Structure 1
C-alpha cells in the first residue's frame, strides 16, 4: 500500500472518530436537556400540588377544621344557641352578636342590667347566637377566637360573666386583639373560677371553632341585616327606634301576666 493510500485511510479514521465524538457530545446534551426538563416538570407539579394543598382547607369564611363540638347545654336547631335564664320563662330574647362588633357592645351596655334582672327573676330566657361578621369585614380571627372562648366559658358554667367581661374589654373594631388567646385567658382571670386548665386548653385548642363557624353560617343564611339582631319572641326589637330598656321590661312583664 502506498504512503498516499495509508494517509488517506488514516484521515478517514480520524474524521470518523471526530464525528463519533461529536455525536457522543450531542447525545450527552440531549440527555441533559431531558433530565433538566423532567426536573422542572416535577418541581412545577410539586408547586401546584403545594398550592392546592395549602388552599384546600380555606374558603372565604376561613372555616375551622375539625368536628363541630357544641358547648355544654347548647340548645335549638343544630345546638347553636347558648341559653341563659329559666326554661319556663314566657318570653324569649334571641340575640345574634359578635364580640368585635361595636353596635353589639352598645346594645349590651344599654340593656345588660335589664336583661340580667329579667333572666334572674325567671321572666325572660335569652338565647345567644355567636357570629363572626367583623372577621369577614375587617379581616382577622378575633370574632371567632373570642366566640370560642365564650363557648368554653359556657362549658364551665361561666358564660354570662365572661360574656360581660368581653364586652367591657372590647378593642376597637379595627383592632384584632381578641385573636390573641393569651388576651382572652387574661380576661378569664376577671371571672371567679374560670381560669382553669380545662378552660385554657379549650381556648388554645379552639375546641368550639367549628361550632362557631356553623353558627356564623346560620346567621348568614338567616337573612339578618347585621349584628346585633335582637328578637323578642320572634319580633325584631332592635329595629324599633322607640325601644328602650324600660319598654323591653314592660313587654316582658306583659307577656308574663
Structure 2
C-alpha cells in the first residue's frame, strides 16, 4: 500500500473519530441541561418536563399507533433487516438520519456493507434513532426515519436509506422535516415514487414504530450514533483503531 493510500485512510478515520467525539460532546451537553433543569424543578415542574422531553427525542404529541413495517426483525421487531437471514455474520447499526457522523460512516462503509449483504455473507439490522431531533429540535430525524420505513414496504429501503445520507442537510437544518423534500428524494430511487409511498410518508404511518425504536436506543446504554456492532461487538470500541471497511470485509469473509 502506498504512503498516500495509508495517509488517506488515516485521514478518513480521523474525520469519523472527530465527528463521533463532537456527537458525544453534544450528548454530554444534553445530559447537563437535563440535570440542570431538574435542579430548578421547584420553579415549575411543567417547564422542566418540557425541557427534558424536548432533549430526549420524544415526540409524544405526534407519535401515532405502533405499526410494524413489512419484514421487521430483531428484538421487539424494531429493526429493518437487509440481506439473507441465513448469513453467518450480523451487523447491527443504530443511526439517525440527521447525524453527521452517521453520514460519514455510511459514505465510508456502505459500499462494503452492501457488497457483503449482496453476496449473502452479511445480514444487517438497521435501528433508527431520533436523538438529533431531541438535541437540536425539529422532527427531521423522525420524518426521515418514517419515510425510510415506508420505502421498506416498497422493497427499496437500502436505496432510499443511501439517498437520504447522500443528501443529508446540515445538522442544524431540519430539511428532512418537510415531507415534500422527502418525497422529492424518492424520485432518485427507481420504483419508489408512488401514491402508496406518498400516503405512507404524509400519514406518518410508522412514526409510532420509530418512536419505539428510539426508546430502545435510549434504553440500550449506547454512547451515540452511529453505534455499529459486528456479531455483538462494537467496531468502534477502540476509537484509535476502529475496524476499517477492509477489515470488516476480511472478518466477514473469514466466517
Equivalence for 2:22: none
CA distance in 1, matches of 2:220, 2:192: 33
Equivalent residues in 2 for 1:205-216 (5 A)?
205-216=203-214
1:138-153 alignment runs, 5 A limit: 138-153=136-151
Q: How does the TM-score come out when normalised to structure 1?
A: 0.76
Aligned counterpart, 1:245: 245
Residue 230 in structure 1 maps to residue 228 in structure 2 = yes
Per-residue CA deviation, residues 172-193 of structure 1 (Å, 9 max, x unaligned), is 0000000000000000000001
Q: Give a deviation string over 1:78-117, Cα, whole Å, max 9, x none.
A: 2101000001100000000000000000100000110011
User: CA offset at residue 76 of structure 1?
Assistant: 1.6
The secondary structure found in structure 1 opposite 2:254 is: helix
The equivalent residue for 1:15 is: none
Gaps of 5+ in 1: 1-51
**Per the alignment, in what secondary structure is the counterpart of residue 227 of structure 1?**
coil
Q: How far did residue 66 of structure 1 move?
A: 2.4
Distance 1:249 1:65 in 2: 38
Structure having the higher Rg: 1
Instruction: Could you tell me which runs of 5 or more consecutive residues in structure 2 were left unpaired when the two chains were aligned.
Output: 1-45
Deviation at 1:59, TM superposition (A): 4.7
Q: Give SS of 2:155's match.
A: coil
- Equivalent positions of 1:115-134 (< 5 A) are 115-134=113-132
The 2-side partners of 1:59 and 1:230 are apart by 26
SS of the residue 1:106 aligns to: helix
Q: CA shift at 1:238, angstroms?
A: 2.2
TM-score (norm 2): 0.76
Residue 59 of structure 2 is aligned to residue 62 of structure 1: yes
* Cα distance in 2, alignment partners of residues 238 and 192 from structure 1: 34
Where 2:112 maps in the other structure, the secondary structure is: helix
Map 1:1-257 → 2, pairs under 5 A: 59-60=53-54, 61-63=58-60, 64-240=62-238, 241-242=240-241, 243-255=243-255
User: Bigger shift: 63-72 or 126-135?
Assistant: 63-72
